[in-house]
Amino acid sequence: MWWDDGMTEAILLVGGQGTRLRPLTISTPKPMLPVAGVPVTIHQIERARDAGVTRVVLGTSYRAEVFAERLGDGSDLGVEIAYAVEAQPLGTGGAIRNAADLLTCGPDDPVMVLNGDVLSGVDYRALLAGHVDWGAALTLHLTRVDDPTAYGLVPTGDDGQVLAFREKPQMPEEIVTDQVNAGCYVFTRSVIDEIPAGRPVSVERETFPALLDNGVLVRGVVDDAYWLDLGTPWDFVKGSADLVRGIAPWAGHRPAPYLLLDGAEVSDQAVIGHGTTVGRGVRVIGDAVIEGSVLMDGAVVEAGAAVIDSVIGERVRIGEGATVVGAVIGDDAVIGARNELRHGVRVWPGTQLGETSVRFSSDA
Question: Using CA atoms, how far apart are residues 363 and 360, in angstroms rounded to an integer?
Answer: 9
Catalytic residue of the set 22, 125, 144, 168: 168
Beta strands 334-335 and 352-353, pairing class: parallel
Question: Using CA atoms, how far apart are residues 126 and 129, in angstroms rounded to an integer?
Answer: 5
Cβ atoms within 10 Å of 110's Cβ, excluding its own: 23
Query: Which residue, 20 or 280, has its beta carbon nearer to ligand GTP?
Result: 20
Instruction: Give the number of C-alpha atoms closer than 13 A to the C-alpha of residue 74, restricted to the C-beta side.
Output: 18
Show contacts with ligand GTP in window 220-249 (CB under 6 A): 231
Q: Letter for the amino acid at 112? A: M
Beta strands in 189-267 (DSSP E): 218-222, 227-229, 258-260, 265-266
Residue 86 interacts with ligand GTP (CB under 6 A)?
yes
SS (H, E, C) 304-334: CCEEECCEECCCCEECCCCEEECCEECCCCE
Q: Does the active-site annotation cover 30?
A: no
Query: Site for ligand GTP (CB under 6 A): how many residues?
Result: 23
Residue 95 interacts with ligand GTP (CB under 6 A)?
yes
Question: Using CA atoms, how far apart are residues 318 and 313, in angstroms rounded to an integer?
Answer: 11
One residue of 23, 34, 91, 275 binding ligand GTP per CB under 6 A: 91
From the CB of 19, what's the least distance to ligand GTP, in Å? Answer: 3
Query: Which residue, 23 or 116, has its beta carbon nearer to ligand GTP?
Result: 116
Question: Using CA atoms, how far apart are residues 241 and 259, in angstroms rounded to an integer?
Answer: 9
Query: Which residue, 82 or 289, has its beta carbon nearer to ligand GTP?
Result: 82
Show contacts with ligand GTP in window 100-139 (CB under 6 A): 115-117
From the CB of 300, what's the least distance to ligand GTP, in Å? Answer: 29
From the CB of 262, what's the least distance to ligand GTP, in Å? Answer: 28
Show contacts with ligand GTP in window 21-40 (CB under 6 A): 30-31
Supply the residues annotated as catalytic. 168
Residues that bind ligand GTP (CB under 6 A): 13-20, 30-31, 59-61, 86, 89-92, 95, 115-117, 231
